[in-house]
């Protein structure tokens, strides 16, 4: 890539003999041999050629330093930058450079500098090869960096490129990253055009490891489209919330919008709440509803979990849901939950208490019962811990419960 400033980088990978039209016969002596320059001059105006010493050695059989390689190439194929052919070659060199790991970093650094002429040159050089570069493991980072500084005209060109094959780009790891960056820096109308283009396949994108990120960007940036997104995901909601990728999309809806707007989704979740509470992904959506704090929803979940509170209290995923149920419940609802979990004044379930105190997940629910429960419930937990203190004090989970009781004034000496 030839620039007008003296420190610029350029790719040249054509040895002198090849550039002169001579191709040596097989098994001929090394015709690429060049004099070795032990101390090449420090010429500030010399361009740097992005061809590694290893690659040069593979081509020529010689091991030279990058500076020596630069000397040979500069003397072999100088470019003035004034002819159409040289400009075409520079553009080709820019593409090759973008696809190289180190070259990609050089171009990214150049794009960060406020030089409009260089940015335009890079864009114009790379755009004809965009259908390959967006998927390339190195070049995609250059395109992402370009997206941050594009002019309106360049954004329009990129939008037209994306619209030609947006589904394939969205579902590709590198292409998806480029599209996300474009969405982040382009204007609202361009984002909306992308939404319209992808709308027919929106549900498939929700399940896609890459495409779900694009749907999340639409949720964040196109609030006027939320009803269309809700209508799209609702028929598949029960499957989305238990899917690693789909769950992220649903969670983003709950994080972005008021709970009242999402009422159709809430009702669908409530209809299968026990199953979702124990699911590694679905439990997060149930927690989103509890976090919203709407009284009717909390009450509906408590009713749905009736008969499962003890079982859920020692469950890896559902225990988090039960904790939040306790925090959001009324006093009457809390009493019903605690009675189901550890019993009541007539008969406390000491075996359950003992198990939960030392359980990896159950200890957190016991702590909530200590925090929100009655004095008799606190005393029941204390009695179990006190009479089993020697066995429990070495249990890291039980230590949290012991500390909670001590903070309330209970003593174990």
Alpha-carbon separation of residue 219 from 124, 209, 290 (angstroms): 32, 17, 21
Enter the DSSP assignment of 345.
T
Q: Looking up tokens 């649903």, which residue turns up? A: 250
Q: What per-residue confidence (pLDDT) applies to 316?
A: 97
Q: Are 100 and 109 in contact (CB under 8 A)?
A: no
- 227-234 own/partner pairs: CB under 8 Å, 24+ apart: 228/199, 229/202, 229/253, 230/261, 230/262, 230/264, 230/265, 232/199, 232/202, 232/203, 233/202, 233/203, 233/206, 233/265, 234/264, 234/265, 234/268
In angstroms, the CA 312 to CA 365 distance is 10
Q: What per-residue confidence (pLDDT) applies to 155?
A: 97
Other C-beta atoms closer than 10 Å to the C-beta of 408 total 11
Enter the DSSP assignment of 200.
G
CA atoms in the 13 A half-sphere facing the CB of 334: 18
Q: Are 243 and 216 in contact (CB under 8 A)?
A: no
- Relative to beta strand 343-344, strand 347-348 is antiparallel
Strands (E), 354-402: none
Please provide the DSSP assignment of 216-277 as one string: HHHHHH-GGGHHHHHHHHGGGHHHHTTSHHHHHHHHHHHHHS-TTTTHHHHHHHHTTHHHHH
Q: Are 233 and 203 in contact (CB under 8 A)?
A: yes
Q: Are 98 and 135 in contact (CB under 8 A)?
A: no
Digitized pLDDT (tens) for each residue of the chain, 413 residues in all: 444 443 344 344 333 333 333 333 434 444 444 444 444 444 434 454 556 666 656 655 667 676 665 655 554 444 445 555 556 778 888 898 899 888 899 899 989 987 888 899 999 999 999 999 999 999 999 999 999 999 999 999 999 999 999 999 999 999 999 999 999 999 999 999 999 999 999 999 999 999 999 999 999 999 999 999 999 999 999 999 999 999 999 999 999 999 999 999 999 999 999 999 999 999 999 999 999 999 999 999 999 999 999 999 999 999 999 999 999 999 999 999 999 999 988 899 999 999 999 999 999 999 999 999 999 999 999 999 999 999 999 999 999 999 999 999 888 87
């Amino acid at each position: 890539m030839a620039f007008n400033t003296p420190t610029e980088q350029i790719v040249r990978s054509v040895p002198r003999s090849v550039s002169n039209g001579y191709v040596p016969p097989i098994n001929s002596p090394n015709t690429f041999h060049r004099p070795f320059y032990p101390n090449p001059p420090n010429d500030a105006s010399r361009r740097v050629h992005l061809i590694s010493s290893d690659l040069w050695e593979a081509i020529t059989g010689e091991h030279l330093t990058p500076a020596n390689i630069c000397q040979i190439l500069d003397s072999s194929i100088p470019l003035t930058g004034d002819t159409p052919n040289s400009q075409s070659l520079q553009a080709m060199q820019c593409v090759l450079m973008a696809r190289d790991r180190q070259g990609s970093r050089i171009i990214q650094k150049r794009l960060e500098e406020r030089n409009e002429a260089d940015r335009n040159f890079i864009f114009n050089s790379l755009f004809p090869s965009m259908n390959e570069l967006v998927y390339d493991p190195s070049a995609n980072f250059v395109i992402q960096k370009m997206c941050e500084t594009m002019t309106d005209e360049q954004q329009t060109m990129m939008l037209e490129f994306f619209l030609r094959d947006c589904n394939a780009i969205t579902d590709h790891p590198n292409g998806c990253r480029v599209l996300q960056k474009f969405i982040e820096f382009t204007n609202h109308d361009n984002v909306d055009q992308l939404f319209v283009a992808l709308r027919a396949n929106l549900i498939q994108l929700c399940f896609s490891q890459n495409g779900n990120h694009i749907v999340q960007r639409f949720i964040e940036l196109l609030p006027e489209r939320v009803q269309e997104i809700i209508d799209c995901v609702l028929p598949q909601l029960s499957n989305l919330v238990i899917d690693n990728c789909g769950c992220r999309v649903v969670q983003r809806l709950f994080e972005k919008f008021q709970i009242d707007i999402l009422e159709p989704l809430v009702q669908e979740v409530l209809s299968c709440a026990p199953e979702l509470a124990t699911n590694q992904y679905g439990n997060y959506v149930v927690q989103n509803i509890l976090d919203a704090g709407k009284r009717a929803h909390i009450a509906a979940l408590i009713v749905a979990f009736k008969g499962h509170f003890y079982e859920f209290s020692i469950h890896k995923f559902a225990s988090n849901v039960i904790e939040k149920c306790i925090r959001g419940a009324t006093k009457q609802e809390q009493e019903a939950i605690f009675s189901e979990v550890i019993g009541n004044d007539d008969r406390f379930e000491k075996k359950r208490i003992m198990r939960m105190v030392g359980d990896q997940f159950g200890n957190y629910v016991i702590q909530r019962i200590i925090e929100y429960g009655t004095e008799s419930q606190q005393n029941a937990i204390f009695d179990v811990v006190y009479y089993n203190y020697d066995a429990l004090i070495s249990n890291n989970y039980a230590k949290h419960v012991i500390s909670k009781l001590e903070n309330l004034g209970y003593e174990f000496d």
